[in-house]
Amino acid sequence: MKFEKYHISESIKKNLADMGFKRPTDIQYKAIPSIMKGEDVLAVAQTGTGKTAAFAIPIINKIHTYKSSKRSYGIKCIVMVPTRELAQQIGEVFTALAKHTKVKTYAIYGGVEQDQQIKKLQNGIDVLVVTPGRMFDLIHQGFISLKNINTLVLDEADRMLDLGFIKDIQAVKQKIKQKHQTLFFSATINKEIKKLAFSQVNSSAIRIQISPDDPVSKNVSHFVMFVEMDDKRFFLRKFINDNPDARVIVFVRTRVRAERVAKALERGNIKSLTIHGEKDQKDRSNAMQQFKNGWAKILIATDVSARGIDIPDVHYIINYDLPEISENYVHRVGRTGRGVKKGIALSYCSEEEKERLEDIQTFLNKEIEKIPISKKEYTWMLTPRDEPDSVLELIREQEIFEKNKKKRRS
């Protein structure tokens, strides 16, 4: 079923067409009708499958349908998100989908001056995308009112729990006195999230959409190479030099590691950008914009940004350090292979990270394909030379090997 056949505003249909969206993804197909009926929804789907549009489309359509003019008389929907980057990103999606409609959308987050945000609120907003800290600051100052809210969205619900936002979520629910719709969206689920969802809904039923057993999109091929910690920088430099036109996001464990890896690449005449919690919001936003614009094709990030990066055509994800939390692996590799695009995720696993690898594979319910490296190949990676063997070629060889192995089995 195409979007043009949905019972939604013609303006939204045009916006979807302009954005290149013709047919709904699985999560959109399953969630949109339930949201349009006013049901509470707990939606769990793989990263890169269009979760934001799944709730943005029906929310914008509902507000647009009931408004008689562009003038706003109070916030109708709040979308709570865990990070500033995610607030920016979701705000952009809402803005694009609300174009030419009567719906006004805006994203508010910390790390920047609030004066401009207050001015925008005073002019009238229908949909507010917000991080909890800045939201409560503005509620206490009297600039945000929840009295007209009829829809509450919790995006990346599992991350909200990880960051300890459960009390904030409960506080918001208590402040919303009227009957309202609650939507939970996430890429991973556990007992805590289910408990939270069922404890916070006001309606008699909640519709649950569960993702497949494999939380990683089928568009992402992922591999692991066993590389000693001190040798990772050589492997990374060689990978980038072998793929000079590729857009790559490199995930590291800490802020210090991010800057060290950037300096290691700089010594190899490779430009890169870093994004982590130590940087102020302006620098983080600038880095994201420069990465989008192609000033540098390499972005080095910590997990603080794993869920806030939705940039088209990220070809590769490199897990320079394996994440300490298994769920973060899913969110990291989900930065590639988004929509209908294909992507590759490659992890470097050192001896001391093997236990983390086991935990990740347990979480995924499957093994990550291992790329064997001979001693000769390993030495090549550490020595600058014009050899034909590259990391990408090793990946391709492994893919061909696995394909042939499956054919032999059948």
Mind listing the pLDDT tens digit for each residue in 200-247? Answer: 665 555 666 655 566 677 788 999 999 999 999 999 999 999 999 999
Tokens read off for 15:
């916006």
Mind listing the pLDDT tens digit for each residue in 354-398? Answer: 999 999 999 888 899 999 998 888 887 787 644 444 566 666 666
Distance CA(114)–CA(121), nearest Å, equals: 10
Whether pTM > 0.75 for this model: the answer is: no
Which run of H or E residues covers position 397?
Answer: helix 391-409
Instruction: Enumerate domains of the chain plus CATH numbers.
Output: 3-209 (3.40.50.300), 220-409 (3.40.50.300)
Q: How large is the angle between the packed helices 10-18 and 51-66, nearest 10 degrees? A: 150
pLDDT at 14: 94
Amino acid at 323: P
pLDDT at 383: 72
Phi, psi angles (nearest 5°) of residue 11: -65, -40
Report DSSP letters for 168-231, one per residue: HHHHHHHH--S--EEEEEES---HHHHHHHHHH--SS-EEEE---SS-S-TTEEEEEEE--GGG
Residues 182-200 have a mean pLDDT of 76
Phi, psi angles (nearest 5°) of residue 30: -85, -35
Mind listing the pLDDT tens digit for each residue in 41-52? Answer: 888 877 777 889
pLDDT at 49: 77
Report DSSP letters for 238-304, one per residue: HHHHH-TT--EEEE-SSHHHHHHHHHHHHHTT---EEE-TTS-HHHHHHHHHHHHHTS-SEEEE-GG
The answer to whether residue 407 scores a pLDDT higher than 70 is no
